[in-house]
Amino acid sequence: MANWWDGRSNERYWCEVTDRRDVGSDLKAPQKNEADQDYWSYSLIEEVMPGDVIFHYSTREKAFVGASVAGGPMEQRPIVWAPHGTTGRVRTSVRPERPGYWRPLYGYRSATRSLPLSAIEQPGEATWLRTWVKAHEEVQPLRLPFQLRNDGIRAGQGYLFKMPADFVERWTELSNLADELDDRAEELADRGSVPQATPTEPLRRFQPKSEADYTAIISAAVQHRTRTHEKLVRIAGEWLKARGAVIANLHPKDLEIISPVRIIVEAKVVRHRDALFAIREAVGQLCEYRYFIGPRNAAIAVLLDVQPSGTLITYAEDHLQVAVLWLLDASISGGPLAQRLILNSMNGIPNQ
């Protein structure tokens, strides 16, 4: 069954509800519940991708106390598990190992200011939350980390939940944590962009829904987008629109200029990695988008968050015929090909 967040590149947040003291060490849950049945809140670990952000809600403190970045691969391994409320009994009786799911976490950050459940229960926040849920009734089940009850709001009954991006943007305590982890998320997403399989288990993330195998691969390859990436796309889109361009951002394409020229744009965050790697990765995606999704007569361009070297600009534009754009302060600049194909048109100069 499809999830409501499938295909939404900004929906990369999750929530662990736990009373454990080693918060941020890992994600782990049994494969079956106490009734020996499959349970979605456990198996949801399989949906997490490297680079996704995990918020940690402590049932001890009744607050969101920190966040981590998911690594990979997810493993099936024996674990010792005590459901919520049983930690006291563990001291007097040893619980046996049972088959479980396990995924590593990295970069745990404790919240400078935690987000208590009591803050979300305030009238204004509670009304906003209930309105959001009402507006999304058609995409049930939502798998949210909250129970909306007649007597108030409670933490979800389960282990792992989906944290909508709207919630992260709504509550600054969460968005601040996500911002602090963005570098680590970018790093781990790059390492895990191609899901890995354990020797005894097939690759789970590739589940083509039609005969169009290559299109399915394209969609899977661009699932993860960090906040820095989304900011880069947003700034570029706003800059282009302010200059009269007609643009779109239909998944999996980052940006597509429809008028006054037709350009498919792939955005890449360079940060501490090699700009050549970012360009190489973008070129492969751009060629596939143009061929398999179209339009095939569109030009292609890569958008970076820093200015690359002159050698790389020459290589990409002269040899590969891929326009190179980059963010400069709050505006967009580019190489000679990008100037000719795109930027001159944005300034009202006829395309040459």
Indicate the number of domains in the chain. Answer: 2
Question: Over its length of 352 residues, how does the chain's per-residue pLDDT go in tens digits?
Answer: 689 998 787 899 999 999 999 999 999 999 999 889 999 999 999 999 999 999 999 999 999 999 999 998 899 999 998 776 544 444 446 778 999 999 999 999 999 999 999 999 999 999 999 999 999 999 889 999 999 999 999 999 999 999 999 999 999 999 999 999 988 887 787 665 433 333 333 333 334 434 444 443 344 344 456 778 888 998 999 999 999 999 998 878 999 999 999 999 999 988 766 899 889 989 999 999 999 899 999 999 999 999 999 999 999 999 999 999 999 888 999 999 999 999 998 765 444 3
**C-beta of residue 13 within 8 angstroms of C-beta of residue 55:** yes
Residue 216: per-residue pLDDT: 36
| Together in a domain, 194 and 251 | no
Q: Is residue 6 part of a domain?
A: no
| Together in a domain, 192 and 238 | no
Phi first, then psi: give them for residue 199, nearest 5 degrees.
-60, -25
| Together in a domain, 192 and 239 | no
Q: Is residue 218 part of a domain?
A: no
| Together in a domain, 25 and 119 | yes
Phi first, then psi: give them for residue 286, nearest 5 degrees.
-60, -45
| Together in a domain, 52 and 89 | yes
Q: What angle do CA 235, 241, 247 make, to 5 degrees?
A: 95
H/E element, 15:
strand 13-18
Close Cβ partners of 172 (under 8 Å, ≥ 6 residues apart): none
| Together in a domain, 257 and 204 | no
Q: Which of 253, 306, 246 is nearest to 279 (CA)?
A: 306
Q: Say which CATH number the domain at 275 has.
A: 3.40.1350
Residue 215: per-residue pLDDT: 40
Residue 40: per-residue pLDDT: 96
**C-beta of residue 305 within 8 angstroms of C-beta of residue 232:** yes
Residue 347: per-residue pLDDT: 60
| Together in a domain, 290 and 196 | no
Q: Is residue 17 part of a domain?
A: yes
| Together in a domain, 58 and 168 | yes
pTM across the whole model: 0.67
| Together in a domain, 310 and 195 | no
Pairwise CA distance, residues 194 & 71, whole Å: 12
The residue range of the domain holding 142 is: 13-208
| Together in a domain, 187 and 46 | yes
